[in-house]
Amino acid sequence: MSIFQKVSILFLVVLSSSFTGCHSSSDGKKESVNQFVSVKKKTPKVSLYFRGVIEPIKVFSVISPFEGRLTQLSFNYGDTLKQGDAIAAMSSLKLSEDFKKVVTDFLTKKSAYYNAKEDYTGVKMLYEAGVSSKSDFLSSQSSFQNDSLSYMQSKFELETLLYKLDINPEDIEKLSLADQDKLAPLLARQFNHIEIPATGTGVALFPINDSNNKGGEDVSGELHVGSKLNEGQLMLSIGDMSGLSIDVVASEESVNRLHQGMPAVITSDAFPGVHLQGKVSSVSLQADPNTSGGRSLSQFPLHIVVPKVGDKATGVIKVGMTCKVQLDLESESALMLPINAVTFDGHTATVKKRTKGGEIKTVNIITGITTPTDVVVLSGLKVGDKVLVHD
């Protein structure tokens, strides 16, 4: 190959490389185009989120009517109970003793009352006829009044006890001490099977303490056959799951933006795909004493209710599940910008504003609430201003 041919080939290779380089440079160059948006008036949508625990919308308490021991349980915790159904039975030796004492006391004071009444009626007639002295009359009157009061008190105690036992008081009140044939079996009565009815319809739950009973001294705990119960002790809670309630807390920074009646949306990882519609039932005017006065923000209790749970949700929602509560805040319309149009430097917020002449100027603004995509502009701009949006 001649020198001329070699030089020609080398020239073509260099020329080809030059064109390729120019082409690549042309393709890799991107023209930077500034994007501007207009300042518009919008209604900002801001949502607050809270964590809570699912509870029944209403709880019925089953209270032990007497002191005694459980002899029978007709439910398991988590069962659905119907109001009026017998859920347990108990025996009470103390009740047998109290019954005998109350009945005997009533009949004794009933007899004393009628004797005093008869005596007072006779003395009054004699006094009015001028035969009996005034002192005898006043003494008889005083005795009659005292016996009347004692009789009424004993009658009240008897009726209170009999109503608990579902016994008609008239069956005993018509008796007297002379009815020994009827009194003997009555006073020997034993209460070895006292049925306890469900006080409402719902799910059988472990006893739920209220805010005034945190010590738990009047709560039975889990029930078993043979468990000892005191009179007035909380035996069982029955949760009405036709609706739900959730207690959450809001910080002092946000509580004044919340109010009774606000709609709430309740969701949970425990029941995915289910969105429950509820509302704020109450907003406490007092901070939780355990959070106020310290270095952290005070927290204010909120009560959320879901009035009705649909059939789909009923089968998957359980008492004690954790959930998320979403509250959408109501806001007035305001000037808004995309959040990436604003530059924040410490406490200063600025934007790049294009003037009518096409010049770009840096403008200080004051911002308000921020949503995931936008920010409220309180001052520094007006509707229609063109602002640069950063990439």
Give 178 or 108, the one with higher predicted confidence. 108
- Residue 220 has a pLDDT of 67
Phi, then psi, of 171 in degrees rounded to 5: -65, -25
Query: Which one, of 387, 376, 390, 264, lies nearest residue 331 by Cα?
Result: 376
Phi, then psi, of 199 in degrees rounded to 5: -90, 0
Does position 206 have pLDDT exceeding 60, yes or no? yes
- Residue 30 has a pLDDT of 44
Stretch 192-200: mean pLDDT = 93
CB atoms within 10 A of CB 197: 14
- Whether 174 and 120 map to the same domain: the answer is yes
Cross-strand bridge partners of residue 264 = 278, 327
- Secondary structure of the chain as H, E, C letters: CCHHHHHHHHHHHHHHHHHHHHHHHHHHCCCCCCCEEECEEECCCEEEEEEEECEEEEEEEEECCCCEEEEEECCCCCCEECCCCEEEEEECHHHHHHHHHHHHHHHHHHHHHHHHHHHHHHHHHHHHCCCCCHHHHHHHHHHHHHHHHHHHHHHHHHHHHHHHCCCCCHHHHCCCCCCHHHHHHHHCCCCCCEEEECCCCEEEECCCCCCCCCCCCCECCCCCCCCEECCCCEEEEEEEEEEEEEEEEEECCCHHHCCCCCEEEEECCCCCCCCEEEEEEEECCCCCCCCCCCCCCCEEEEEEEECCCCHHHHCCCCCCCEEEEEEEECCCCEEEEEHHHCEEECCEEEEEEECCCCCEEEEEEEEEEECCCEEEEEECCCCCCEEECCC
- Whether 343 and 285 map to the same domain: the answer is no
- Residue 17 has a pLDDT of 47
Give 16 or 122, the one with higher predicted confidence. 122
Q: Model's pTM, two decimal places?
A: 0.69
Give 188 or 146, the one with higher predicted confidence. 146
- Whether 325 and 384 map to the same domain: the answer is no
Percent of all residues in the chain with a pLDDT value above 90, rounded to a whole number = 59
Does position 112 have pLDDT exceeding 50, yes or no? yes
Instruction: Give the relative orientation of helices 93-128 and 134-164 as an angle to the nearest 10 degrees.
Output: 150
Query: Which one, of 213, 291, 282, lies nearest residue 252 by Cα?
Result: 291
Instruction: Name the least confident of 7-21, 43-57, 153-167.
Output: 7-21
What pLDDT, in 10s, does the model give residues 314-366? 889 999 999 999 999 877 888 989 999 999 988 899 999 998 888 999 999 99
Domain count, the chain: 3
59 and 239 in contact (C-beta within 8 Å)? yes
CA 89 – CA 191 distance, rounded (Å): 10
- Residue 209 has a pLDDT of 59
**Listed ranges 37-41, 113-117, 166-170, 356-360; the one with the highest mean pLDDT:** 113-117
**206 falls within a domain:** no
**Listed ranges 182-186, 276-280, 311-315; the one with the highest mean pLDDT:** 276-280
- Whether 321 and 250 map to the same domain: the answer is yes
- Whether 148 and 110 map to the same domain: the answer is yes
* Residue 385 exposure: Cα atoms within 13 Å on the Cβ side: 26
**179 lies in which domain range?**
93-187
End residue of a domain, out of 187, 203, 232: 187
- Whether 269 and 338 map to the same domain: the answer is no
**120 falls within a domain:** yes
**Listed ranges 196-205, 330-339, 371-380; the one with the highest mean pLDDT:** 196-205
- Whether 325 and 352 map to the same domain: the answer is no
| Averaged pLDDT score across all residues of the chain | 86
What pLDDT, in 10s, does the model give residues 261-290? 999 999 999 999 999 999 999 999 999 888
- Whether 98 and 172 map to the same domain: the answer is yes
Instruction: Name the least confident of 21-25, 115-119, 254-258, 309-313.
Output: 21-25
End residue of a domain, out of 310, 329, 348: 329
Q: What is the CATH number of the domain that holds 289?
A: 2.40.30.170
Cross-strand bridge partners of residue 337 = 375
CA 241 – CA 238 distance, rounded (Å): 9
Stretch 160-165: mean pLDDT = 88
What pLDDT, in 10s, does the model give residues 53-111? 999 999 999 999 999 999 999 999 999 999 999 999 999 999 899 999 999 999 999 99
**104 falls within a domain:** yes
CA 69 – CA 311 distance, rounded (Å): 39
Paired tokens of 23: 């082409």
Paired tokens of 171: 């069956």
Instruction: Name the least confident of 128-132, 216-220, 255-259, 350-354.
Output: 216-220
- Contacts of residue 30, defined as CB under 8 A and 6 or more positions apart, other chains included, come to none
**232 falls within a domain:** no
**225 falls within a domain:** no
- Whether 98 and 167 map to the same domain: the answer is yes
Cα distances (angstroms) measured from residue 118 to each of 99, 122, 123:
29, 6, 9
Q: What is the CATH number of the domain that holds 340?
A: 2.40.420.20
- Residue 33 has a pLDDT of 61
End residue of a domain, out of 187, 206, 223: 187
- Whether 119 and 179 map to the same domain: the answer is yes
Paired tokens of 299: 């927290």
